[in-house]
A and B are shown apart, each in its own frame.
Chain A
Amino acid sequence: MPEPVLRLEKLRKSFGALLVTDDLTLDVMPRELHAVIGPNGAGKTTLINQISGLIAPDSGSILFHGHDITGMPVDARARLGLARSFQVSSVLPGFSALENVALAVQSRSGSSLRLFGRAAEEAGLNEPAMAALGDVGLAERAQVPAGELAHGEKRALELAIALAMRPKILLLDEPMAGTGREETARLIAVLRRLKGRFSVVLVEHDMTAVFALADRISVLLYGRILASGTAAAVRADARVVAAYLGEEME
């Protein structure tokens, strides 16, 4: 039985009187694409924020490759190989699409405490950045300021940025949020190509994407994992159908 890449143990988080994460335990295995689904308000984004370090859990622990990262700051986790995308596009609007990705590449290639040398001209940064942009279909829009990109393009850029970090685990918070059918299909194709390279935690509402991509699915309800297993197992689970998928079918 291989060691999980990411293990969440009895994670708990309240905001005032509201319990958002309730004794949550979850394992993500190496190279698997693990989808997390659940109705709005189930605590999915809060979960991602706790894993990436933006929010500190009240109790419980997070282990990454066996190391306890529960108290680690955001940037340290990223340096360990934990990359994430944001539900609301969080690109650098004044930077071009290329420079956004080049910055991500930069974080993985040597020191950034260099005060000299023109970063914009470093082939070592620009080439991998262009490759990542190509992967998500944004190669032609490389020079466009990220703030001027269309919504779907921004979502693609989010993905490219995360990929450029050459992560060991990729946390995707609703990458298809608000994208049209074509864009969604393209993102699904990209993710399918990347499957198996590293672990992915995919939070999504779009069931087509989830069933097309996921190796395993966990269902989150009121801050707890209701059920966890293969797509077929979860679909058949009566509790899940009643609580979540059942509502969807209405």
Chain B
Amino acid sequence: MPASLAASPIRRREGFPAATLPATIFLVLALLPTVTWITGGSYLISVGSRVMIFAIAAVALDLLVGYAALISFGHAAFIGLGAYAVGILSAYGFTDALVSLPVALAVSAAYAFLTGLVCLRTKGVYFIMITLAFGQMAFFTASSLAPFGGDDGLTIAARNTFAGFPVLRNERVFYYIVFFCLLGTYLFCRALVASRFGRVVRGAKENPIRVSTLGFDVYRFQLATYVIAGALAGLSGFLLANAAEFVSPAYMSWQRSGELIVMVLLGGLGSLDGAVIGAAVYLLTEEWLSAFTENWKVIFGPVLVLIVLFARGGLLGLTSALARRITRA
């Protein structure tokens, strides 16, 4: 079958094969620890881990917002649920990842399933609002869990062990665990988007009525996507709890959910690569600017507005436009 007849959703960057950008990103991420090995210190590694942890959640959210056109304003709740699974289990003495990871995934997937059942009956702005509501519910539940710190959050005594081995405590090892989780998430989502399943979901974004008249139960496909995205965010939460050794209701605030949407938009919706880039740019900017001033968001707010007005395709949109100008010149 000649490649030209393939019906493909993967966009091509101007002049470069589709895999160049993600390959570059993951290469950079993979080599980061060697840079610090030369320069010393572990600051870059912990920042890198944090970026990748949020990138996992951002990629999952891109699946929802970019590919399925389901604007979830409560995505942070799943991160929080995964994190709290780790925290609460730790408090009860279950400190092994072989226990807390499956639980984290199961809890976030279950919450996604139950809330998805209700949310997906609505459309448009009602969907946004109801996902926000469920996010708030998770937030308030966590805030009132007095035995687990309530508003102040819960400190975790130590990172999870893996099959009894304290490997997560080594910053470098942890970094690479997160790296492989991100790589796995990315590849999984790529495959999902290119699959038959992904095609139905992408079609439903364009014209849900049309897709249902073809014989697809759109609700079921959207629910499955919602659960997958929730579970992946739960994975992100599991890693976050371990990285910070602390969980707090703030992980699930609606502001956090908003920030996740911003990360996805920043990189460029519907590209998965963009989600990783967006997460990196947002968090690094936050790190860098907050060193100058506590009020860096005064600048960031208008920047967001400008992005929406003029750079709707995010950074990837800007760079493609730029690349097109250059190749034409």
**Do A and B come into direct contact in the complex, CB within 8 Å?**
yes
Write the residues of chain A forming the contact surface with B, with a CB cutoff of 8 angstroms.
Answer: 52, 54, 73-76, 78-79, 83-84, 86, 90-96, 98-99, 102-104, 106-108, 111-123, 125-126, 129-130, 142-143, 161, 165
Is B195 close to A, CB under 8 A? yes
Knowing A92-B206, A130-B5 are in contact, say whether A119-B199 is a contact too (CB < 8 A).
yes
Residues in B neighbouring A102, C-beta threshold 8 A = 7, 199
Name the contact of A126 in the complex, choosing from B7, B191, B199 (C-beta under 8 A). B7
Knowing A161-B214, A165-B214 are in contact, say whether A112-B196 is a contact too (CB < 8 A).
yes
Q: Are B206 and A112 in contact (CB under 8 A)?
A: no
Residues in A neighbouring B329, C-beta threshold 8 A = none
Residues in B neighbouring A54, C-beta threshold 8 A = 209, 213
Closest residue of chain B to A158, judged by CB? B210
Q: Are A91 and B216 in contact (CB under 8 A)?
A: no
Name the contact of B195 in the complex, choosing from A107, A108, A119 (C-beta under 8 A). A119
Closest residue of chain A to B270, judged by CB? A94
Residues in B neighbouring A75, C-beta threshold 8 A = 212-218
Q: 1/0 per residue B191-211: CB within 8 Å of A?
A: 110111111101100110111
B194 to chain A, nearest CB (A): 5
Residues in A neighbouring B197, C-beta threshold 8 A = 112-115
Write the residues of chain B forming the contact surface with A, with a CB cutoff of 8 angstroms.
Answer: 1, 4-9, 191-192, 194-200, 202-203, 206-207, 209-218, 221, 224
By CB atoms of chain B within 10 A, which of A98, A120, A121, A122 has the most? A120
26 cross-chain CB contacts under 8 A: A75-B215, A75-B216, A78-B214, A79-B215, A90-B207, A90-B209, A91-B210, A94-B206, A95-B203, A98-B5, A99-B9, A99-B199, A102-B7, A106-B200, A107-B216, A111-B196, A113-B196, A113-B197, A114-B195, A116-B192, A116-B195, A119-B196, A121-B6, A125-B7, A126-B7, A142-B5
Sorted nearest first, the 4 A-B pairs with minimum C-beta distance are A99-B7, A78-B215, A107-B215, A120-B8
Name the contact of A103 in the complex, choosing from B6, B192, B211 (C-beta under 8 A). B211
Task: Please measure, in the bound complex, the distance between the C-alpha atom of A161 and the C-alpha atom of B210, giving whole angstroms.
Answer: 10
Q: Are A126 and B210 in contact (CB under 8 A)?
A: no
Residues in A neighbouring B199, C-beta threshold 8 A = 99, 102-103, 106, 112, 119
Name the contact of B212 in the complex, choosing from A74, A96, A117 (C-beta under 8 A). A74
B216 to chain A, nearest CB (A): 6
B5 to chain A, nearest CB (A): 6
Q: Are A121 and B1 in contact (CB under 8 A)?
A: yes
Name the contact of A52 in the complex, choosing from B8, B195, B200, B213 (C-beta under 8 A). B213
A160 to chain B, nearest CB (A): 12
Task: Please measure, in the bound complex, the distance between the C-alpha atom of A95 and the C-alpha atom of B10, giving whole angstroms.
Answer: 11
Q: Are B196 and A93 in contact (CB under 8 A)?
A: no
By CB atoms of chain A within 10 A, which of B8, B191, B213 has the most? B213
Closest residue of chain A to B3, judged by CB? A121
Q: Are A90 and B215 in contact (CB under 8 A)?
A: no
Residues in A neighbouring B211, C-beta threshold 8 A = 92, 103
Q: Are A126 and B215 in contact (CB under 8 A)?
A: no
Q: Are B203 and A103 in contact (CB under 8 A)?
A: yes
Task: Please measure, in the bound complex, the distance between the C-alpha atom of A102 and the C-alpha atom of B224, giving whole angstroms.
Answer: 22
Q: Are A118 and B194 in contact (CB under 8 A)?
A: yes
Residues in B neighbouring A90, C-beta threshold 8 A = 207, 209-210
Q: Are A120 and B206 in contact (CB under 8 A)?
A: no
Q: Are B7 and A117 in contact (CB under 8 A)?
A: no
Task: Please measure, in the bound complex, the distance between the C-alpha atom of A122 and the C-alpha atom of B212, giving whole angstroms.
Answer: 22
Task: Please measure, in the bound complex, the distance between the C-alpha atom of A52 and the C-alpha atom of B209, giving whole angstroms.
Answer: 11
B204 to chain A, nearest CB (A): 9
B256 to chain A, nearest CB (A): 28
Q: Are A129 and B7 in contact (CB under 8 A)?
A: yes
Q: Are A120 and B216 in contact (CB under 8 A)?
A: no
